[in-house]
Amino acid sequence: MSDRLAGRDRSALLDHLGRRVAHVTAAANLPGIAAHGLLPAAELARLSGRAPADIVLRPERTALRYGASGHTVRLNHQKPILHGLAAANRVVEGHDAASWAEVLDARVFFWPERHLRGPFLASVQRDLETAVIWLDTEAMLDRAGDRLDLSPINSGNFTQGGAHARRGNWLFVPARAGLEAFRRNRQARGLVRAPDAVKEISLRGALAANDLAASRVDSETDGQGAQ
């Protein structure tokens, strides 16, 4: 991209995010990911012949069959929205719970390594075998930095503390804006006192199979769960 981060701004963001970021998925999704790349839920719905609006606010994990080879993908449920439905309909500027779920379904999500470990990862490791795909952060910035956004919260969680976290389209700060712009985003709106740290990274649209292959550094599975 022509306006990619460079110099100190780029170094500051890479230092903050860490050398690698993770995508968490059901292990059974790996063959389809290898063939087609990382696709957002909305695109997977379209490829399976369903409208994206038909899959929002999923109460359970949802299986979709897509592609000429008939790969099956298991989408995660959206219980963190449903279990905080009143909050989701109240704290998201310009959206209700359903339209916000559509915003999220148009993205692929990644997590900084420091945030993935511990309770967060344990919370998604239920029912099915989980795979964690590790990607090189710098390679991601090079290949998809113009579509990467940063968030200080889990944008789809409306339970516990998430019930009080105001959000809207403005929550997603483009990575190309730099770390300082991200850290001051909520502060400038009077929502927090201290500068933010990145807890979630999302990609608008898909990460093509060739870009995934060039960015991928490792993967691991855990028999306890899935996303």
Token pair for residue 157?
Answer: 């969680």
- On average, the pLDDT of the chain sits at 92
The pLDDT of 192-203, averaged and rounded, is: 97
Domain-embedded: residue 227 = no
Please state the domain count of the chain.
Answer: 1
Q: Higher model confidence: residue 111 or residue 219?
A: 111
Domain-embedded: residue 151 = yes
Q: What is the pLDDT of residue 227?
A: 35
Q: What is the pLDDT of residue 225?
A: 37
Domain-embedded: residue 38 = yes
pLDDT single digits (tens) 33-56: 999 999 999 999 999 999 999 999
- Which residue range(s) make up the domain with 128? 7-222
Domain-embedded: residue 168 = yes
pTM, two decimals, is: 0.93
φ and ψ at 197, to 5 degrees?
-120, 150
Domain-embedded: residue 2 = no
What stretch of H or E contains 16?
helix 7-17
Concatenated DSSP letters of 103-156: HHHTEEEEEEHHHHTTHHHHHHBBSS-EEEEEEEHHHHHHHHGGGEEEESS-TT
- Any idea of the CA torsion for 193, 198, 204, 210, to the nearest 10 degrees? 170
pLDDT single digits (tens) 94-110: 999 999 999 999 999 99
pLDDT single digits (tens) 101-140: 999 999 999 999 888 866 666 666 766 788 999 999 999 9
Rounded to whole angstroms, the maximal C-alpha distance in the chain is 51
CB 131 within 8 A of CB 219: yes
